[in-house]
Every structure is written in structure tokens, then in C-alpha cells.
Amino acid sequence: MEGVEARRESIALLWTMVRHTTCIMSIPSTASIESQLPTTWSSYPCSDISTVMPGYTSRLWSQDSQPQYWSKYQVWEWLQQMLDMHQIDAASIPFQNFDVDGRQLCSMTYQDFTRAAGTVGPILYHSLTELKWSGQYPGVEFSPLDVIKSEPDVDFPCPFTEPSIYPADIYDPSFQSLAPVTSPTPSSPDTKRSHSRPHQVKKHNPRGTHLWEFIRDILLNPERNPGLIKWEDRTDGVFRFLKSEAVAQLWGKKKNNSSMTYEKLSRAMRYYYKREILERVDGRRLVYKFGRNARGWRESEK
DNA sequence: GCTGATTTTCCTGTTT
DNA sequence: TAAACAGGAAAATCAG
């Protein structure tokens, strides 16, 4: 609940600032927003974070709240929600460009969104279009793909991926859509080892961050993944998994492996003991400690 | 195509 | 009893 309160406070603060400093809908030519995104997080496939962090993004904009009737404050709440959902740095969007109410927001074109929010603009546009449609035609399945197809052929590098919704060639081509899970039956020994991973599409991107770096980056960016892992002793590098399965799912998403579990993740973690990337913390469940060969986790190294 | 590093998967047994 | 831990073994993946 603290996170929600904090977010509301930040919205209120931004709201106050803009009320005093901006004029309505002055849209400057925005510089590249990608460069402002934290590189560590920019590659995360984060389409479905709500599934791994229940409660974090569960407050979706419902159909009964049609965007054209939003107040300016609600527009900002929606913006903040979008940033949270897609793990985009709030600094990436000039909020003063969205000092508009719902009616004005809905009248903005695709180009307006792109001008106002740069590379994030299309995401906001698609999200808003979806909301408008779902409110207008409740019960009708809306496909964002239709919007993308009908739009001008723009080339925007997306800072994150939406593998379950958007085509991979428009977003990050390094991640393919998650394949359907076709778990081999435990009773069939032939398929047990030969298909140990359900479906692994060859990836074009190089091997990304290692598991321990992935864990480290979550710890160093708690505002992006609240409640997944927390420091137990920041100085000694001791940390604890709060939502072990959620972290495993997030790791699985990054590796395009929908069958990742904490059991498997923890096995990989235990291999780090030998390499002294991690040290054992005896007697404490879900607790690990960075070892001498782990880099970049100390505050002095940041 | 080969190799090594790094997971991933599956397993059995132990501990909490 | 369930969840987590421990670690062996083998397969998969990917960069070089």
C-alpha cells in the first residue's frame, strides 16, 4: 500500500508543478527518450508483470471509466499507470505535454503522441485506443495489431517488449513470442530429456545478463520491482527472495522460457557458490549473499 | 562444426 | 506435509 501512496503523492506533486509552470499542450520536439532509459531494464520483456507481481499493476483502467470523461488528474494517473506497467522511467515523459483532460487526450493523434512522448508515444496511443474501444464496444475483443497495421510505417525502437500483444518485428526483435507450453509427460522417459525445454526459439540477441546480474539489477532497482527481492544486509550483500516464483517467472520471461521455476533458478544460483559469485547463508531460506566475484552490487561501485 | 561457459532440466535425498 | 536446499548428471544454448 505504501507504493500506491507514494505514487499518488508523486502524481500530486507533478500535478502541482505543472499547474504552475506549463501551458496547455505545448509540444516541443522531444529528444530521443531511449537514451534516458536505464539500459539495464530497457531490454526486459515486461508485458505481463502483473502476472508475476499480483497487486502491483492490478488496478487497471476499467471499461466503465471511459477516457474521454477523465479529468486531467485521471489522465496523469493513467500515464503513471502506463509507466509502471511498462517499467518506463517517469523522467522519460515530459508530463507537461499531457496537461490535458480526457476529451483532449482522446483527440490526440498518433503523431501527437509521438511528438509529446517520443518513443513512448505509440505505446500510450495504443493503450488509449484500446481503452476507447473497450469502453465503446464492451465485450468486443480488441486487437492492437489492427491499429498497428493501419498506422503509418513508423520505425520506433521500443524500450521494452510486448511479446504477447505486439509483433516482434515492430518491437524488440531479439525476443520472440512465448511459445505454448507443451510439457512432456513425466511418465514418458523418451521425451523427458530430449525435450527438456518446452520450446526454445533461437534468439538473435547475444546472451544477455547472467542470472546473478539479473538478480543484482532487481536489487539495485527496487522501485521497478517492488517486493520481489530485498536486501537483508546491504553492506554485506545479503539479500532475500520475497517472491521467489515471481522472480523465476521474470527470469524465465527474460530468457523466453515459460517453464522457469524457482527450483530451477535456485539450482543455477547454487552453481554460483563454487565460482564465489555467491556465498552460502546457512540456515536461512531464500537468503543468498554476493561473493567476492560478484561485481557491481556495492554502493561504492555504483 | 567444435569448444567452453553458463544455464536448464530432472532427479534423489535432506533439512526446515 | 510442503517448501526449500543440496548437489549429481546430462542436455541445451550461445559466443567465440
Which residues numbered 185-214 in chain A sit less than 7 A from strand B, measured from CB? Answer: 186, 192-193, 196-198, 210-212
How many angstroms separate the Cα of A278 from the Cα of each of A115, A211, A238, A255, A300?
46, 11, 10, 21, 19
| Span A69-78, pLDDT tens digits | 776 666 766 7
Cα–Cα dist A140/A143, whole Å: 10
Highest mean pLDDT pick, A87-101, A104-118, A207-221, A273-287: A273-287
Quick check: A267 CB within 7 A of strand B? Answer: yes
The average pLDDT across A249-264 equals 90
How many Å does it take to go from CA A127 to C1' C3?
A: 39
| pLDDT band, residue A11 (cuts 50/70/90) | very low
**Is A244 within 7 A of strand C by CB distance?**
yes
Q: Is the CB of A190 under 7 A from strand C?
A: no
CA to C1' distance (Å), from A165 to B3 = 38
Q: How far is the CA of A45 from the C1' of B1 (A)?
A: 32
Nearest nucleotide relative to A282: CA against C1': C5
Using a 7 Å cut-off to protein CB atoms, list the covered nucleotides of chain B. Answer: 6-11, 16
Separation CA A101–CA A113 (nearest Å)? 14
Tell me the per-residue pLDDT of A168-196, one tens digit each, with 9 for 90 and over: 222 232 333 323 333 333 333 333 333 33
pLDDT at A156: 26
Q: How would residue A291 be classed by pLDDT, with cut points 50, 70 and 90? A: very high
* Beta-bridge partners for A230: A240
Domains of chain A: 2-150 (1.10.150.50), 211-301 (1.10.10.10)
- Coil vs helix vs strand at A143: coil
SS3 A232: strand
pLDDT tens-place string over residues A132-160: 665 543 333 323 323 223 333 222 223 23
